[in-house]
Chains A and B, each alone.
Chain A
Amino acid sequence: MEHIRTPKVEQVRLLDRFSNKSTSGTLHLTATHLIFVESNADGAQEIWILHHHIGSVEKLSLTTSGCPLVIQCRNFRVVHFVVQRERDCHDIYSSLLRLLRPVSYEELYAFSYNPKQNEQQREEGWQLIDLGAEFERMGVPCDQWQLTDVNRNYKICETYPRDLYVPITASKPIIVGSSKFRSKGRFPVLTYFYQEKKAAVCRCSQPLSGFSARCLEDESMLQAISKANHNSRFVYVMDTRPKLNAMANRAAGKGYENEDNYSNIRFQFVGIENIHVMRTSLQKLLEVVGTRSLSVNDYLLGLESSGWLRHVKAVVDAAIFLTKAVTVEGASVLVHCSDGWDRTAQVCSLGALLMDPFYRTIKGFMVLIEKDWISFGHKFADRCDQLDGDPKEVSPVFTQFLECVWQLTEQFPQAFEFNEWLLLQIHEHVHSCQYGNFLANNQRRREELQLKDRTHSLWAFLLSEGQNYLNPAYCHTYADSHPVLEPSTLPCHLKFWRNMYHQFDRSMHPSNRQLEDTIMKLEARLQKHGISPPPQTPRPPKDQRTLLNHTRPHSLILGAPLSLKEAQHQEEVGEEAKKCCSDTERTVEGSSGSERKESYGDLQGTYGANVEPAVVSLEFGVARMTC
């Protein structure tokens, strides 16, 4: 609280990023949120921005209308305020600067967030996802794979979970030896078991091979993985990095497996770029799509030059390779990158999603994230910039994974139980720090922070309103006919994910009340014959509203792929446009000299009678009329 100098500023204007529309209202600064309340009497809109969501704040130079403040959020919301007095603007600016750079975990919202649950509910929430049960579901432990307690105290590898599954023939000395030969001690462990062919997907980090070093225990470890699968005489080793990067690592004493030293491996590079390339690529993409009056050509060229879809394709391609090796050849695969917590997590989890229909259900998808991302130590704190840290460690690796999943849901509309909205919600909360699940970089740290005792679980919240995330096109029998998904990665099948990167841009998602009526009607109809529509969620308590009120697509049952989904993109009413048209800056075709600022409303009444030149602002173009 001590950081907040000005809790409330009035007469602040909010400019639309893509049009000349603007609204005015009051800005409130609380300990957790920045809130903008439109001053419009009825149907006033509120925008709640959680401090953790703010990626950057920028104060632009003073203009005649006030002092502009541009806030970029990690959920890709960009807001542009104009504050009348510079002093107010500066106060908010400096408060935010401090508030959005928490230095310790305890400052994060999750530790103060209280959704009015009792202790028992909270604890139950944390028990909803059980990874032990998940490995059991896969059929592990079994005659070839066992649970090992070597990492019981996080002694062998502090970024791995406590419970790890290894081949039964991998003895403790082999494990210890192998872990010493792997970057950060991340030795090969099981992450997915394809029961049908007894083929395993294992993950690890790069070997410390340098130019010539070898490690017999590590070689035995791979041998053990190979032996655990009778279907195939060899193991694929997938290095998800570009070959050049892997080779460069050799100079630093790291590198990749030498096929001569390991018997029965097939080594393969798949060429996914590193976190820095991905960060830059997304930045470029956002720059392009954030441009005002972007032409179609510049958009397509920008999409191309950002390389983002190329990277998305590379990740999906790698997952397809993994899936084919396991399901078609019945071979086990060991996946790694450098440290085995970014690209490896992407490829293993996407591969599992393609192979196993369970992960395409709501619960299964949570299990998948819990397993491959949270428990295996994807560095959420660093990658999502939860604490004030090294900006070079920040990277949209998880966002990219969600996008890959979205691309799949677009290609297989019936295969997924969940809709796009679940992906957006997960993305929202990975950055919100409102729930404990994604805090910190690994399980060990999470236990130190006692997150399960002090915070709430996102999974419980999402499951409690699971109906909002149901994909109406989901077909339960689809999994029987298509147990393994074979997506196309032809470039023409990859799309720009507008609802992720423009979720908050109103001008791209016109909406109106009429649509909501329609939805209510449809819901009522569905209810009549027992297809349960999502419940009408009551207005949430204030501190939750940021998540429910503004990020929810207007359509809930229509939140599905295919044509249904675009319902959220319904009619923009003339009225709304009129309202928004007020007070706009206008460029005028062929105009010379001074322009009068005129509100649309004024104009209508006086048109025809007025002999003064009048200016009309048209959303689709700009015209000037002279009477």
Chain B
Amino acid sequence: MEFSEHIKTANVEDVVLRRPFHPPMQGTLCVTGHHLLFSNRDGDSSRLVLLLLRNIDAIEKSVENLLGYSSLFSSTGQSQRPSVSSGTITLKCKDLCVLQLDIPGMEECLNIARSIEYLSSLDIVSDMYPFFYRPLKLSLQDQWGLSSPEQNYAQMEELQDRWRLSHVNKDYSVCPSYPPAVIVPHSIDDETLVKVAKFRQGGRFPVLCYYHRKNGMVIMRSSQPLTGANRKRCREDELLLQAVIDGSGLGYIIDTRSNQQAQQARMTGGGFESKSSYSCWKRLHRQLERGKVLQESLIKLVEACGDHSHSVDRWLSKLENSKWLSHVHTALATAGLLAECVERDGHSVLVHGSEGTDATLLVSSLAQLILDPNTRTLDGFLGLLEREWLLAGHPFQHRCAHSAYSHARLRLEAPVFVLLLDCVWQLARQFPLAMGFSEPLLLRLAREVYASDYGTFLCNSDQERCAAGVKERTHCLFQFLLKPSEREHYSNPLYEPTELAIWPSIQPQSLQLWRGLFLRWTQHAVHLEKAQEELRNLVIECRGAS
């Protein structure tokens, strides 16, 4: 495809760029297939600002010589505009930054706006920037991804007598959103798995996602069973679950929907594991919001953070109204419950909601962070994300198509992954020594998941990634983050490994708004960031000396 046909005006001189923390800059604006390029030549030094078009969530334009028209679109804080025909474009980015471009010439302004609108929302995967990103220091021959299901399995020797690696999904035919290999009970053969898959939504049959070394208990995840209105049963499904708790005799099912929602799901063919068919399993319902509700919550939160009114009451009521912290609370509480079932109560747990690709992954990965020290290192955490989000089939492309500013009609967007990062941040804040990675890593991930130079978060599943050639034709973010040059920056200098579970406090008083993400672009954030950086250096210095 040719991007150039969508670029009517490629260059404009004398554009003024306004962005947080910097004085306005005058220079040349250039539109390319994937970037906005702003360069400013000030004497000998020249500065370059590069903005990935994919990062743009919403664009607002106002043109000066269309009277009446301009006031409709005028955004706040622009008082003095050039007098002749000109326009202003406000770019609201997915990393929550807001930029403004004052462009001389109405025609140029509209052309550029049109290009941005089109090029920022490409939806063919192979057109996206990761397929064009070719930095000198990275090679496409480098390993893509950190580990494979095979490697993961091989590393966990202690589970191998009761659990096996099944390749039943090797051509993605049994479950399109699963990886080619999954871990299942030894006694369950592939034929049975195929039947179970037919009984679970999207073919997501129960698979192992965590083995608790201390007591041999496991966390399984799946999608909802398709019991439907007439309470269909599936022998094989029951067998599989029975095999999971073989020996211990009891298990918990954490359903991430309310009891009522689960009941209602039966009307549309879904359902839940009934007491009569799964007598050894105890269901616990914990309602986690997903989809539209979560997206709207993020939109409201970002809106609240952008409101610089001085009323404390208004701020608190907007924060409350966004419900974001409630979602954080529920996610952590449910993960805590899950971890508690495994660690303190000593039972295996199956977790699912309806599709098993959102709240399910959120809860299971948070529980692993609570329980498993190996997931709290930098490598371990990225490995967890790879296993529990990328390979497990969280539909990133659908969920992260748009962020909080977009005016586009919501379809499948939901900030589940951002919610995960927020919860992880809360954990790291409560246990500052327990995590091997730092807040900048979480912030970086929050940015990359929406717009990236790397192919890691492209597509919705492993299958799609393979089909699109992501692994051959793009670079892997996780591999990059683990390079020695980057590793330093994303490690936590205070890290002191602990074998213990980290039980977070989930009292509302213990939860905080993630300022680093949501208030990042307020003036105040600068010196806090600076202080953090200096503190970090101090700690590193101390460590180096000892």
Give A residues with C-beta under 8 Å from B: 18, 289, 294-301, 303-304, 307, 309-310, 313, 411-414, 472-473, 475, 488-496, 498, 501-502, 507-510, 512, 514-515, 518, 521-522, 525-526, 528-529, 531, 558, 562-567, 569-574, 577-578, 589, 600, 604, 607-608, 616, 618-621, 623-627
B291 within 8 A of A: no
Closest 4 CB pairs of A and B: A491-B315, A299-B508, A620-B336, A300-B320
How many angstroms between the C-alpha atoms of A217 and B18 in the bound complex? 55
Pair B310/A491 contact, Cβ less than 8 Å = yes
B344 within 8 A of A: yes
Pair A625/B507 contact, Cβ less than 8 Å = no
A491, A566, A569: the one within 8 Å of B311 (CB)? A491
How many angstroms between the C-alpha atoms of A573 and B500 in the bound complex? 7
Pair B337/A620 contact, Cβ less than 8 Å = yes
Determine the chain A residues whose CB is within 8 A of the CB of B507 once the complex forms: 18, 294, 507-508
Determine the chain A residues whose CB is within 8 A of the CB of B439 once the complex forms: 563
A286 → B minimal CB distance (Å): 12
Q: Which of B490-546 contact A (CB under 8 A)?
A: 494, 496, 498, 500-503, 505-513, 515, 519, 522-524, 527-528, 531-532, 534-535, 538, 542-543, 545-546
Determine the chain B residues whose CB is within 8 A of the CB of A310 once the complex forms: 311-313
Chain A residue at smallest Cβ distance from B501: A574
Pair A618/B542 contact, Cβ less than 8 Å = no
Determine the chain A residues whose CB is within 8 A of the CB of B513 once the complex forms: 492
Known: A296-B320, A526-B542. 17 other contacts (CB 8 A): A289-B509, A309-B312, A473-B534, A490-B524, A493-B522, A498-B510, A502-B509, A507-B507, A521-B496, A571-B434, A571-B500, A571-B503, A577-B344, A578-B344, A604-B346, A608-B248, A619-B340
B123 → A minimal CB distance (Å): 35
- A294 with B542: in contact, given A304-B313, A627-B250 (CB under 8 Å)? no
Determine the chain A residues whose CB is within 8 A of the CB of B312 once the complex forms: 304, 307, 309-310, 313, 491, 494
Pair B317/A304 contact, Cβ less than 8 Å = yes
Determine the chain A residues whose CB is within 8 A of the CB of B519 once the complex forms: 492-493
B492 → A minimal CB distance (Å): 8
- A528 with B546: in contact, given A413-B528, A566-B430 (CB under 8 Å)? yes
B282 within 8 A of A: yes
How many angstroms between the C-alpha atoms of A123 and B434 in the bound complex? 46
Pair A529/B546 contact, Cβ less than 8 Å = yes
Determine the chain A residues whose CB is within 8 A of the CB of B325 once the complex forms: 296, 300
Chain B residue at smallest Cβ distance from A627: B250
Determine the chain A residues whose CB is within 8 A of the CB of B515 once the complex forms: 492
Pair A473/B430 contact, Cβ less than 8 Å = no
Pair B527/A412 contact, Cβ less than 8 Å = yes
CB < 8 Å A-B pair total = 213
Determine the chain A residues whose CB is within 8 A of the CB of B328 once the complex forms: 296
Determine the chain A residues whose CB is within 8 A of the CB of B430 once the complex forms: 566, 569
B323 within 8 A of A: yes
Pair B432/A303 contact, Cβ less than 8 Å = no
Pair B286/A621 contact, Cβ less than 8 Å = yes
B220 within 8 A of A: no
How many angstroms between the C-alpha atoms of A619 and B513 in the bound complex? 23
A515 → B minimal CB distance (Å): 8
Determine the chain A residues whose CB is within 8 A of the CB of B469 once the complex forms: none
Pair A618/B326 contact, Cβ less than 8 Å = no
B313, B336, B500: the one within 8 Å of A574 (CB)? B500
Residue total for B at the interface (Cβ-Cβ under 8 A): 76
Most buried by B among A304, A515, A562, A627: A304
B102 within 8 A of A: no
B433 within 8 A of A: yes
A565, A608, A619: the one within 8 Å of B250 (CB)? A608
- A297 with B523: in contact, given A490-B310, A578-B344 (CB under 8 Å)? no
17 pairs, CB–CB < 8 Å, chain A vs chain B: A289-B509, A412-B527, A472-B538, A473-B538, A493-B519, A493-B524, A507-B507, A508-B509, A510-B505, A518-B433, A522-B496, A528-B546, A567-B433, A572-B503, A577-B344, A621-B337, A627-B249
B429 within 8 A of A: yes
Determine the chain B residues whose CB is within 8 A of the CB of A491 once the complex forms: 309-312, 314-316
B305, B333, B512: the one within 8 Å of A620 (CB)? B333
How many angstroms between the C-alpha atoms of A462 and B308 in the bound complex? 40
A480 → B minimal CB distance (Å): 15
How many angstroms between the C-alpha atoms of A512 and B502 in the bound complex? 11
Pair B503/A510 contact, Cβ less than 8 Å = yes
- A525 with B534: in contact, given A296-B329, A498-B509, A510-B505 (CB under 8 Å)? no
Pair B314/A618 contact, Cβ less than 8 Å = no
How many angstroms between the C-alpha atoms of A558 and B538 in the bound complex? 13
A495 → B minimal CB distance (Å): 7
- A301 with B320: in contact, given A490-B308, A498-B510, A621-B286 (CB under 8 Å)? yes
How many angstroms between the C-alpha atoms of A472 and B304 in the bound complex? 34
- A525 with B509: in contact, given A303-B316, A620-B340 (CB under 8 Å)? no
Pair A295/B429 contact, Cβ less than 8 Å = no
B248, B500, B508: the one within 8 Å of A300 (CB)? B508
How many angstroms between the C-alpha atoms of A539 and B333 in the bound complex? 38
Pair A571/B531 contact, Cβ less than 8 Å = no
B60 → A minimal CB distance (Å): 23
B432 → A minimal CB distance (Å): 4
Q: Mark B219-256, 1 if CB is under 8 A from A, else 0.
A: 00000000000000000000000000000111010000
Chain A residue at smallest Cβ distance from B506: A620
